[in-house]
Chains A and B, each alone.
Chain A
Amino acid sequence: MGIVESQRHVRRWRSLVAEDRGTGIAHLGVVDGLGMAAVTCDLDGLITGWNGEALRLFGDDAQLRIGASLASCSILCDTEARRMLRAVLKHGCWRGEIHIRVGEGSVLADVRATTIAESEGVCRAVLVSVVDVTPSVTADRDQWRTIVDSLASGVALLDGDSTIVAVNEAWRRSGRDADASSDYVGCNYIEVCEASGEVTALEAAAGLRRLANGESDLFELVYPCDRPEGREWYLMRAVPYASGDGGWTVVSHQDVTEARLDHERVVIQGEVLNQIDAAVHITDVEGTVLTWNAAAERLYGWTAAQAMGRLADDLRLTPGIDPEIRNAMRNGRWDGELLLGRIDGSTFPALVRTSTSHDAHDGPDRITYVAIDISDRIQSQRELKAARDHLRALTDSIGEGMFTLDLDGRVTYVNPAAERILGWAGEELQGRMIQDFLQTEHAASWSRIGVDDAPLARDWGDGEVIRVEDDHFSRADGTTLPVEYTTAPFATDHGTGGKVVVFRDISERKARSQQLERELANLTSYRRIQEALAEDRFVLFAQPIIDLGSGEVVQRELLIRMTDRDDPTAIIAPAAFLPVAEQYGLIGEIDRWVIKRSADIAATGLAVELNISAASIGDPQLLPYIENTIRQSGADPQNMVFEITETALVAQETKGREFVERLHEIGSKVALDDFGTGYGGFTYLKQLPIDYLKIDVEFVRDLANNSKSHHVVEAIVTLADRFDLKTVAEGVEDELTLQMVRELGVSYAQGYGIGRPAPLPDRLTAEQLEVS
């Protein structure tokens, strides 16, 4: 029979007894069969009666007898009997679970006592019922012990003196793990705590003492415990409770390390969340704001208090957002740039990233929105772009060529001027190694410092600004371009580095410089010529011309030379001064000097040929000068042959014709010099009284081994024959050529093979010349 059932019977029985206040004892037999032993006693605890179950419970040897004490029949000990009677008299009832001796053993009994036979408020007797609850209580106890032992927290039961009377398995394990000493059962826990001396232990002792004194009804303390594997945290919790047999305290120690770490993580995350510049807010799937960090407050203007718990859409954070983007943001990870809205309705560009967390069933749970205001970045990008465009426009508009190289020496940028100057398209150059196409003179020095293996920009004067004033680059068409250039290293904060090369086409400058040098040299020559004219430092060399029929010298071509002022024996060739004399207008004076000297020589009876420059042909004063000079010298005009070039004659057709015709009128002859190298056509031959065609050395020099030259000379001879002209082969340098020109029908010949030009003495007679 369970306790509850027994109590029901007791109440019923008690009511029956109450009906007969005077002879309750006689009714004990009525309560037989209730499954509950019952004994009545007076207020001194002396037995006054019992029922059949009592007799069966305690057995025949139970010494149940009228007038015996309860202790004598082993129901209660004396102390318990006294305590029970006091409680009953005071409160009207008492209850306790106590072990009673039954035969050789004992049982756990639910003992209840209540007053009976009250008469006019006076208690006359006490009914003690005893129910053997050993099976049920044992089962309950074992159940509870198992439960308590299964708790992760260490639990101890302290009696009213704070002595540990029972502990669970976790407590015992904790004791073993701590120092393997004891679970402190039987020890005063307050004293144990105080003995440790640790701050938290002393705090725990004080708390327990307050509980024991009834000053509080709960004590909690979180304390650390350092383990070899790390610090652990425990929650000590002490709760008093009172039972029928006194005050008790349950003390538990719960490992809260994970919870504390979780808490710390949450705290840290919260702090971090508030410290980062990015605005972060988290919503549930419906869009209700769950988290709103400090940056979000600053960025959107909504305080956390205003935002939390509201729908994000109500906050108008993403005005005018594309529905597709909105869905993408809510259904997974999305990042991109968006225009976000503030509380005041203003908007700003932001970089937004969303991510969705999922619950245990893999369904969307939370959506985290991270937003960074990129207004400054966009403004900065605009400014950078403007600056870059400005610089780009600058480099694109400069006249100097410019290209940049990366650290490997590869071209990364070419400006339009460089494209134009070099003839390469920018895309053709980009990515190419610099030395592959420039072919500069520095290639050798680059090689010396290992540019072939290690690139230009890194090794070629790294860190220095280099200026090269005279170099050359190769252009796309293979031509060489004289340049000056500057190279300078550059590096950006983003790690980009290399060289910038700015160059300038100096061909014009170089040409101008060379022109200036030439002009300077010419001016020097001009002064020398003037001095030579003033000092009469010109001389005439004579080269013999032979008649190929007779082999005799019949004429001499007079060739001008200049002597050096400091060394009269040093002869200066005509190529060194005649071009300058022609350019600076001195050729006329030289021609007059030659005419004068030639006339003097011709006056000795020698036949001479003298050269007249093209410039003098157009000089209207020259012909009168010639006439006067010949007349004054007394020379036979027929002994003077004037040589003019075919080019000069054709270029000044009218004046040339007048010149030639007038010379013939004087009685002199005319030879066309360098014949065959001019314009061709030769129609002037039909109009001008030319006497000699001087076949240019170009056709004569290779006559022996060039059939084409042979044909030309042959054609010239035929032409001269058709016009009744004489021919003179110039540049005959060997016997074979001499023989060939003779066989071709050439009239005369001159050249090194016949006689070199030689100086003429100041005063010569014909005889002397013949000898020389």
Chain B
Amino acid sequence: MSDTSSRPAQVELDQEQAMVDLDQSIADREQARDDHGQLTNDATQRTLDSEFAAADRSDAQRRASIAQRQSEVERVQARRDARQAQIDNNQRGLDGRQEVLDDDQRAISKQAAPAVSTEDSLAASARERQTAARLRAEAALARAEDARRRAEAALARAEAAERRTDGT
């Protein structure tokens, strides 16, 4: 015997989940691209720091050129920070949508559990959903770890910028 009443809700939930998954995958891709851009900017900053340390104090033109590039790096960093803020904001929205979906899924699963267990195809779908949920949880964990790493990197950048400003 199957629980037909839960099917449209499950289909609709699956569609919603698919949309959120697509959004999340696109967001992950955007985050990856930004992380790569951040690495490039960090490398440029390190190069500038070493060039500045090696530059002759009397070589005003050289130091001015470095200062000019430093300004450009900081400008790019400012744009990246703003972009990261957008991504973080978007991610919070996605997380919220996912929580709602998770709640809905738990509600449907709880309601349909006796019937589902008697039907192989539905059981397989449920397993797929559980697997997908586990993967999403792992991905969320990885994102949280990445976010912590980015926060630390941002703090380090801020300290380095302060040191450069102080000239120490």
Contact = CB atoms under 8 A, between A and B. Distances in A.
Interface of A: 433, 435-437, 439, 443, 452, 474, 476-479, 676, 680-683, 685-686, 699, 706, 708-709, 711-712, 714-716, 718-719, 721-723
B25 interface: yes
Interface in B10-47: 11, 14-15, 18-19, 21-26, 28-29, 32-33
B64 A715 contact: no
A680 B32 CA distance: 18
B22 A437 contact: no
Contacts of B24: 715
B22 A436 contact: no
Contacts of A686: 15
Contacts of B14: 722
A685 B23 CA distance: 14
B75 interface: yes
Given A719-B18, A722-B14, 5 more contacts: A436-B63, A479-B75, A681-B23, A715-B26, A721-B18
Given A478-B75, A708-B32, A439 B64 contact: yes
A527 B75 CA distance: 42
Given A452-B61, A676-B26, A478 B72 contact: yes
21 contacts: A436-B63, A443-B61, A452-B61, A478-B75, A681-B19, A683-B19, A685-B15, A686-B15, A699-B29, A708-B29, A711-B29, A712-B26, A715-B21, A718-B22, A719-B18, A719-B19, A719-B21, A721-B18, A722-B11, A722-B15, A722-B18
Contacts, number: 81
B89 interface: no
A433 B22 CA distance: 55
B54 interface: no
Nearest to B59: A452
Contacts of B15: 685-686, 719, 722-723
Shortest 6 CB-CB contacts between residues of A and residues of B: A478-B71, A708-B29, A715-B22, A719-B18, A715-B25, A711-B25
Interface residues of B, number: 27
B60 A433 contact: yes
A174 B94 CA distance: 126
B70 interface: yes
A137 B65 CA distance: 109
A708 B23 contact: no
A708 B146 CA distance: 15
Given A719-B18, A723-B15, A435 B25 contact: no
Contacts of A680: 22-23, 26
B131 interface: no
Contacts of A712: 22, 25-26, 29
Given A718-B21, A719-B21, A722-B15, A439 B29 contact: no
Contacts of A711: 25, 28-29
B68 interface: yes
Contacts of B71: 474, 476-479
Contact of A478 (B23, B28, B32, B68): B68
A435 B61 CA distance: 7
Contacts of B19: 681-683, 685, 719
Contacts of B99: none
A433, A685, A712, A723: most-surrounded residue (chain B CB, <10 A)? A712
Nearest to A437: B64
A715 B75 contact: no
Contact of B22 (A476, A477, A682): A682
A436 B25 contact: no
Contacts of B29: 699, 706, 708-709, 711-712
A185 B135 CA distance: 145
A660 to B, nearest CB: 18
A478 B69 CA distance: 7
Contacts of A681: 19, 23
